[in-house]
């Protein structure tokens, strides 16, 4: 059997590889030639075994890989060369985990076992001696347990036999409560809570979860300018990665100053990130810096006898696939869409992060927008759940997520949307207890009026806006809590918690009622910003008003009133962050103001492009000039010029122009309500769990093909839409509905109003 | 300045040492010659600086070093060569910790900083660039923050300047909640919960907390017997350490079988622990095995061309100091005391563990007895608090401690005693929140009658006793809960939680009342064992009756009744574990039955000695014969022959014969009520926080010198005691009290009844 020999040799090699703890930190799974050969080999092996073999993958306690990766990722921030970690609690993985599954094995088989950690193996409750690398499992029904201890890394298991393989159907616990009495009898373990194993895409024994790194690819600058003891380099656009110094020789200090703008790189004293090296090379050497960073410009300054030939980079990126798309007749909008995509791609890394230059942290409010953009571009569920898990951490809850009250609520909202877009119940069932404890934390912090008020240690963020009051009971926070409670009601149902369903439903209804009783001002025709000392304040801000629109908390007349009194009212404080522009424009779109929003988009995002932006910013105030744009937080270059929340056109164009959104969880049914908003034509794709929805829209024709679910196209037309496969139903007021079956192309000829 | 140069060189060396991550696992702080030299050097340095310098020590988040050490320690168990970890949740350290202190610095000084982990340093809120190894602190009031991230080991800090040093007065948190707004303004951090830093005795920069190991010393066997391809070795008595193989040569397999008994070592198939080696040496080599184990006998068996000259060991021990002592005219009692001390010493390791052969785990019920023994032998507070912290772990509480309901309650009782013996309020103040959450877990699991019943996943242990019922609501558990609630009331007071004081007092009083209403049986003149389906069972066991005596829950007539109806009643199921013998004999002593107990001690512990025991056992049933004694848990050699709970004579002789115990926390006041129990004379020392109490007692004379507090000697005498410094007060019924001032010797001549 050539195949068996082959396999044995391979496993031996992998095993040796696996046991090598001295592996350097720079070890790159994606870049190893040996591993690529192994992958090819495994591909052949898998092809050969295809008819019988199950797919094995590394598994762990769900959430633990994610939490550990967040620990590594979020503590990579530096500020001018200094380690700059987060200011909230970071949790850790369970150090001791039991994995098990019962298998029905058709024929005796050899099962190979790879483990990250110290471990033992049981077959039907009986321990093997030592920590076996492979075991023989006889035919029949058998239970396999693997118990793993690992302090430094997440306990993880990869099991590969013919039918016995590790995958998400294994059950795991951090307390098996399996003891014996004095006669040797084993305890009843029926009360142990077992979760389904966590996993991702580590499908080879050699792909250790603990060694995970993002892939990199080489990249060169567009221009290089040599000075006296200096080198200035421009990569042509915002980018991210590891700087590589070529031909580095001599002795002396070398500093690398990073800039998102030319001004920042040139400011040795005020640039936000830098690296310092002590060079001592008698021959020319290449040096790759250890920490990846954001930049467009690099300013290298050196002293002594140091000389340097050139600078290049290793571009570091997340290997996500673009599935959504948008194109239209307006080239400025197309450019905005492209730059939004690039901005979003740079900020989609191990997690959805806020911005690539400064924090590189996972912020719940920022991530919430990324989830939504993701549903219209990558539909990468893993990055969503990974981010949600990293944000949530573990019990006990000792603070709001990121310490920010609103950010706790966005976490719940993110789950609501995740379920709506993906239909994934397992995630909710597995993590419902973590949702409960976080919600109970919030409920326990309400004041005597049952409202959320900032307690010491709570950050009421809302938005970066000058003079925004955080005092008293802010309406925006109550609104988000109400929506979070609704989410809990939904999730309680999925998790079979009938008591929870009733409890959260009651709480959310009470709060929604209170919201209007306490904050609606008839004179102002708006929700006011806050209550202080039991009294409505005079202040009206956009936040709770715009959210109430797309939450559907207003009735139709309130909506129309608020549009005038708040959204389109120049006297209400303007929003200067793309963060809140996101929701402002969403609210306007939800009310059919696509033409207005298109103009706003061209003004605001187009405005940044006109200033030379190659990615979208953390904040943009058209009133500022030149390098003024780069300052924030009292620092000259404090502002991030590549911020995820700047990429919202991806979401707006997909959801409100192409007009696609799920009508029931996981796109089982969905709506298509295209709105050109003044464009001549547009076309694009919207990803769903089971394939894309393709759309073309002009003023005369709408074409839709959906790979999934049952769609309802809703178009406004002067005439009855007709065409290929089309049966339109007149819903009155020039609205027509066409039902879309999966896999069929519909061509609707109509006449736009 | 020669001194400065000296120091700079040293720090450089230490710093280099510190940065060496490749240090082998076997690195022994205690055995390094270099370090011994450094210690000497530092001693000189400290002497030189004595007038001005503060003592620096490594600090960490309190409880985290302890939890990590427990993770390492408890996962060292093996069963016949197989990794055998615990079955309850193991917690982890906080990976990100902020340390700070405000100093008033008399003169500008250089401060050296050593850190386990990645870190930054702030002076008055301003970050230094990079991770500085030393900083200059100007004269005046300054705040120093050090923020440390470490996934693999406990974040720890050692700071040493002239006045700026790291010690337990630093404050630490795992969430500093220090953020900035868009203008760069720092948040209010007044709500952050800061604890005092944890520390132990790592007083040199090079003594990394993460590298902590117990010290070892070489030891040789008493006899060595060579066989054909085998070597059989006897170390003369129970011992613990690393086996060392000398002159190991050739090629082939080698097995080491460990035995606490000769029979166990000889049983290759059934001994509890073993090691297997693949030998391949062309020249003779020495090999020290990697995992320390318990044994008296070693059976080495080898195959192929393997040859072996001899076997020795590295004895591994905790460096605790004996302070208590006991000697009397009865040599059997003296022998019992000596073997109890040795048993206790072997089981006093990183923590107070159960037994050295098998589990080597930290069990709360076992540890509780060790705490008490410790107060009469080592008075080593650190081992007590370290064990309490390791047992408690972190929130959330997901199970009882060690999964055992009674063991949760012993944890509270352990704190009660710790406070009584040591008077340490800081420990209680720091960990009161962990006490609260554990107690709330218990309170939340009471049934409709407000009683603790075993829920699925709860282990009701009580004792190893055949046929002992765990059904329904067991009286013993209610009794322990009542005492635990009293402890909480006490601790709430110390932690300034007035609500808690009231709440726990009410709960404990209600439960004590209920205990007698529901379980006291007038006919049986005893507390019954349990209630099942709301009805008293017929069964009377010793447990709740004997605890009610020394908890003082019975009135005097109940006590006397129970003594007859239960304690001295042959028809009540006998206790066969030293674990519960501890409390049974304590109850009898508390009622003045020292003569009876002395006989029992000679029978029971003397019985083990007569069978050749060199340490005391997990269980002893005089009815068994020969190797029958070694079996337990359905395994031939399952029983531990060196179990901490076997060492209780240390406690009984100190507390009930020498008769010394604290009357108020930390021995501010104390009682001495000597009771010869039939002995002619006895003498000994009892340690207290501030020095020992020395006692000599014969039938004619009592001599007491106490270094601490105010003592009250209480003796029964036919005549008024007189003598050096003695003023006796007649309390009636032949009882006399003499007040003892610290540091004064009292010689009381009296006439025993």
Residue B517 belongs to a domain: no
First-to-last C-alpha distance (Å) of chain A: 72
Same domain flag for A539 and A584: no
- Residue B485 belongs to what H/E stretch? helix B475-494
pLDDT of residue B38: 41
**What span, in angstroms and rounded, lies between the C-alpha atoms of A436 and A492?**
9
Cross-chain Cβ contact A403/B179 below 8 Å: yes
Q: Contact B96/A86, CB-based, under 8 Å? A: yes
CA distance A475 to A487: 19
Q: Say whether residue A23 is in contact with chain B using an 8 A CB cutoff.
A: no
Closest CA to A470 of A410, A412, A537: A537
A526: which strand partners? A521
Q: Indicate which of A80, A87, A468 best probes the interface with B, i.e. most B CBs within 10 Å of its own CB.
A: A87
Whether residue B387 lies inside any domain: the answer is yes
Q: Does position B188 have pLDDT exceeding 90, yes or no?
A: no
Query: Per-residue pLDDT for B528 more than 60?
Result: yes
Task: Provide the CATH number for the domain around residue A513.
Answer: 1.50.10.10
Given a contact cutoff of 8 angstroms between Cβ atoms, the answer to whether B276 and B236 are in contact is: no
At residue A696, does pLDDT exceed 50? Answer: yes
Contact A633 B191 (CB under 8 A): no
Cβ <8 Å between A457 and B120: no
Residue B190 has pLDDT above 50, yes or no: yes
- The answer, for B92 touching chain A at a CB cutoff of 8 Å, is yes
Q: Does B456 contact A190 at a Cβ distance shorter than 8 Å? A: yes
The span from the CA of B488 to the CA of B491, in Å, is 5
**Cβ of residue A444 closer than 8 Å to a chain B Cβ:** no
Q: A-contacting residues of B 111-130, CB under 8 Å?
A: 118-120, 127-130
Question: A86: which chain B residues are within 8 Å (Cβ-Cβ)?
Answer: 96
| CB spacing of B151 vs A396 below 8 angstroms | no
Confirm whether A381 is domain-assigned.
no
Query: Hey, is the C-beta of B179 within 8 angstroms of any chain A C-beta?
Result: yes
Q: Taking a contact as any Cβ pair under 8 Å apart, which residues of chain B between 625 and 684 contact chain A?
A: 632-635, 638
Q: Does B177 touch chain A (CB under 8 A)?
A: yes
Q: Are A387 and A74 in contact (CB under 8 A)?
A: no
Question: Phi and psi for A288 in degrees, rounded to 5?
Answer: -105, 125
- pLDDT of B494 higher than 90: yes
User: Does A262 lie in the same domain as A198?
Assistant: no
Q: Are residues A561 and A602 in the same domain?
A: no
Q: Write out the two tokens for A689.
A: 């769990």
Give pLDDT, residue A533: 94
| Residues in Cβ contact with A496 at an 8 Å cutoff, skipping those fewer than 6 apart | none
Instruction: Please indicate, yes or no, whether residues B629 and B670 belong to a single structural domain of this protein.
Output: no
Residues B338 and B302 in one domain: no
Q: Is A714 exposed, middle or buried (0-12, 13-18, 19+ CB in 10 A)?
A: middle
What mean pLDDT comes out for the span A427-434? 98
Q: What confidence tens digit (pLDDT) does each residue in A311-365 have?
A: 999 999 999 999 999 999 999 999 999 999 999 999 999 999 999 999 999 999 9
pLDDT in tens, B136-160: 999 999 999 999 999 999 999 999 9
* Contact assignment for B90 to A85 by CB distance below 8 Å: no
Q: Are residues A551 and A613 located together in one domain of the fold?
A: no
Q: What is the DSSP string of B371-422?
A: HHHHHTTT--HHHHHHHHHHHH--SSP-SSGGGBHHHHHHHHHHHHHHHHHH
Instruction: Tell me the shortest Cα–Cα distance from B518 to chain A, in angstroms.
Output: 29
Chain B, nearest residue to A188 by Cα: B457
Which A residues 683-702 touch B at CB under 8 Å? none
Do A261 and A297 contact (CB within 8 A), yes or no? yes
Q: Which residue of A95, A119, A177 is in closest CB contact with B87?
A: A177
Regarding whether A650 and A546 lie in a shared domain, the answer is no
Nearest to A175 among B88, B94, B118 (CB): B88
Residues of chain A contacting B399 with CB distance shorter than 8 Å: 175, 177
Q: What is the dihedral of CA B601, B603, B607, B609, to 10 degrees?
A: 40
Question: Which positions in chain B touch A82 (Cβ < 8 Å)?
Answer: 120, 127-131
- What's the confidence (pLDDT) of residue B208? 98
Same domain, A702 and A616: no
Please indicate, yes or no, if residue A390 is contained in any of the structural domains: no
Q: Is 50 exceeded by the pLDDT of residue B487?
A: yes
Give me chain A's average pLDDT, please: 92
Same domain, B304 and B197: no
Least confident of A64-78, A174-188, B540-554: A174-188
Task: Give the one of B72, B85, B179 whose C-beta lies nearest to A87's C-beta.
Answer: B179
Do the domain assignments include residue A337? Answer: yes
A375 in any annotated domain:
no
Nearest chain A residue (CA) to B82: A130
Kindly state whether residue B487 falls inside one of the protein's structural domains: no
Nearest to A191 among B68, B179, B456 (CB): B456
Note the pLDDT of residue A53. 56
The secondary structure of residue A456, as a DSSP letter, is T
Q: Tell me which of B145, B177, B211 is where a domain ends.
A: B211
A398 touches chain B (CB under 8 A): yes
If one compares B576 and B341, the residue with the highest pLDDT of the two is B341
- For residue A698, which of A717, A671, A725 has the smallest C-alpha distance? A717
Within a domain: B77: yes
Residues B72 and B126 in one domain: yes
pLDDT over 90 (residue B24): no
Are B85 and A147 a contacting pair at CB < 8 A? yes
Q: What is the structure's pLDDT at A724?
A: 87
CATH number at residue A57: 2.60.120.260
**B23 in contact with A, Cβ within 8 Å:** no
Where does the pLDDT of residue A48 fall: very low under 50, low under 70, confident under 90, or very high at 90 and above? Answer: very low
pLDDT exceeds cutoff 60 at B16: no
Nearest by CB: B82 against A81, A130, A183: A130
Interface contact flag, A85 B174, Cβ < 8 Å: no
CB-CB under 8 Å, B184 with A68: no
User: Which of A539, A572, A605 corresponds to the end of one domain?
Assistant: A572
Q: Give the pLDDT band of residue A2 (cuts 50, 70, 90).
A: very low
Integer CA distances (angstroms), B282 to B249, B279, B306, B751, in order: 6, 10, 10, 75
pLDDT at B164 over 50: yes
Tell me which chain B residues have a C-beta less than 8 angstroms from the C-beta of A185. Answer: 634
Residues A199 and A259 placed together within one structural domain of the fold: no
Top-confidence residue, A443 or A186: A443
A276 touches chain B (CB under 8 A): yes
Helical (H) or strand (E) element with B483: helix B475-494
Q: Which of residues 187-206 of B touch A (CB under 8 A)?
A: 187-192
Q: What is the mean pLDDT of chain B?
A: 92
A–B CB contacts, 8 A cutoff, strictly below: 179
- Please identify which residue in the block is written with the tokens 């070529």: A246
Average confidence (pLDDT) over B282-299? 98
The number of domains in chain B is 4
Distance from CA of B612 to the nearest CA of A (A): 24
Segment A664-679 mean pLDDT:
98
**A282 plus A235 within the same structural domain:** yes
Residue A354 belongs to domain spanning? 321-366+575-657
Residue B381 pLDDT exceeds 70: yes
pLDDT tens, residue by residue, A152-168: 999 999 999 999 999 99
Q: Does B182 reach chain A within 8 Å, measured CB to CB?
A: yes
| A87 to B632: CB separation less than 8 angstroms, yes or no | no
What is the per-residue pLDDT for A190? Answer: 77
- Look up the CATH number of the domain holding residue B733: 2.60.420.10
ipTM of the complex: 0.91
Residue at a domain's end among B299, B316, B333: B316
pLDDT tens-digit readout, A622-656 = 999 999 999 999 999 999 999 999 999 999 999 99
User: Locate tokens 């936040």: which residue?
Assistant: A543
Minimal CA separation from A500 to chain B, in Å: 18
* Chain A contact set for B192 (CB, 8 A): 457
Q: Is the dihedral of CA A290, A294, A584, A379 positive or negative?
A: negative
Considering only A40-44, A208-212, B125-129, B698-702, which range has the smallest mean pLDDT?
A40-44
CA dist., res. B611 & res. B589, Å (int): 26
Residue B125 with chain A: CB contacts under 8 Å: none
């Amino acid at each position: 059997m050539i195949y068996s020999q082959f396999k044995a040799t391979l496993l031996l090699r992998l095993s040796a590889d696996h046991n090598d703890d001295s592996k350097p930190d720079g070890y790159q799974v994606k870049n190893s030639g040996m591993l690529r050969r192994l992958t090819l080999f495994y591909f052949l092996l898998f092809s050969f075994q295809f008819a019988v073999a199950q797919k094995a993958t590394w598994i762990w306690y769900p959430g633990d890989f994610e939490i550990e990766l967040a620990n590594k990722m979020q503590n990579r921030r530096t500020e001018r060369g200094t380690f700059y970690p987060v200011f909230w609690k970071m949790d850790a993985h369970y150090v001791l985990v039991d994995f098990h599954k019962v298998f029905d094995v058709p024929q005796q088989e050899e099962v190979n076992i790879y483990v990250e950690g110290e471990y033992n193996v049981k077959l039907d409750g009986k321990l093997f001696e030592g920590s076996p690398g492979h075991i023989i499992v006889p035919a029949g029904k058998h239970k396999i347990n693997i118990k793993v201890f690992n302090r430094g890394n997440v306990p993880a298991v990869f099991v590969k036999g013919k039918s016995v393989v590790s995958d998400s159907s294994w059950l795991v616990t951090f307390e098996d409560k399996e003891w014996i009495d004095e006669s040797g009898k084993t305890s009843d373990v029926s009360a142990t809570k077992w979760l389904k194993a966590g996993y991702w895409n580590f499908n080879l024994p050699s792909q250790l979860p603990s060694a995970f790194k993002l892939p990199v690819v080489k990249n060169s600058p567009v221009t290089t300018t040599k000075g006296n003891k200096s080198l200035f380099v421009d990569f042509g656009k915002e980018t991210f990665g590891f700087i590589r110094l070529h031909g580095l020789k001599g002795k002396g200090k070398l500093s690398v100053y990073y800039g998102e703008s030319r001004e920042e790189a040139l400011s040795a004293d005020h640039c936000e990130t830098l690296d310092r090296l002590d060079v001592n090379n008698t021959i020319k050497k290449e040096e790759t810096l250890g920490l990846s960073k954001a930049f467009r410009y690099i300013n290298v300054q050196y002293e002594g006898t140091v000389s340097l030939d050139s600078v290049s980079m290793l571009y570091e990126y997340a290997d996500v696939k673009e599935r959504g798309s948008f194109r239209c007749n307006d080239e400025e909008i197309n450019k905005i869409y492209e730059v939004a995509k690039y901005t979003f791609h740079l900020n989609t890394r191990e997690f959805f992060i806020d911005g690539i230059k400064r924090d590189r942290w996972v912020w719940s409010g920022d991530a919430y927008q990324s989830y939504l953009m993701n549903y219209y571009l990558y539909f990468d569920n893993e990055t969503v759940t990974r981010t949600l898990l990293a944000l949530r951490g573990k019990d006990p809850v000792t603070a709001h997520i990121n310490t920010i009250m609103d950010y706790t609520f966005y976490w719940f909202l993110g789950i609501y949307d995740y379920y709506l877009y993906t239909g994934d119940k397992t995630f909710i069932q597995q993590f419902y207890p973590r949702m409960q404890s976080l919600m109970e934390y919030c409920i326990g912090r309400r004041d005597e009026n049952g409202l959320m008020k900032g307690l010491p240690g709570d950050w009421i963020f809302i938005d970066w806006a000058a003079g925004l009051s955080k005092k008293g009971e802010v309406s925006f926070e109550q609104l988000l809590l109400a929506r979070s409670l609704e989410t809990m009601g939904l999730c309680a149902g999925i998790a079979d918690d009938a008591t929870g369903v009733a409890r959260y439903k009651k709480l959310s209804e009470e709060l929604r009622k209170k919201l209007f009783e306490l904050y609606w001002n008839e004179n102002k025709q708006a929700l006011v910003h806050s209550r202080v000392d039991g009294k409505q304040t005079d202040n009206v801000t956009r936040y709770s008003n715009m959210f109430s629109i797309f939450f559907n908390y207003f009735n139709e007349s309130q909506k129309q009133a608020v549009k005038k009194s708040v959204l389109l009212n120049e006297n209400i404080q303007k929003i200067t962050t793309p963060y809140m522009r996101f929701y402002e424009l969403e609210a306007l779109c939800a009310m059919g103001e696509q033409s207005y929003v298109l103009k706003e988009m061209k003004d605001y995002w187009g405005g940044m492009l006109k200033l030379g932006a190659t990615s979208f910013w953390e904040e943009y105030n058209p009133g500022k000039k030149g390098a003024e744009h780069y300052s924030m937080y009292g620092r000259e270059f404090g502002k991030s010029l590549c911020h995820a929340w700047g990429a919202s056109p991806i979401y707006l164009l997909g959801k409100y122009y192409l007009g696609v959104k799920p009508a029931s969880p996981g796109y089982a049914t969905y709506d298509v309500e295209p709105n050109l908003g003044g464009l001549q034509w547009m076309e694009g794709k919207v990803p769903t769990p089971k394939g894309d929805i393709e759309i073309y829209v002009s003023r005369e024709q709408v074409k839709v093909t959906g790979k999934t679910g049952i769609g309802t196209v809703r178009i406004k037309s002067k005439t009855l839409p007709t065409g290929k496969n089309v049966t339109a139903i007149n819903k009155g007021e020039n609205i027509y509905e066409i039902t879309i079956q999966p896999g069929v192309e519909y061509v609707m000829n109509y006449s736009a109003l």
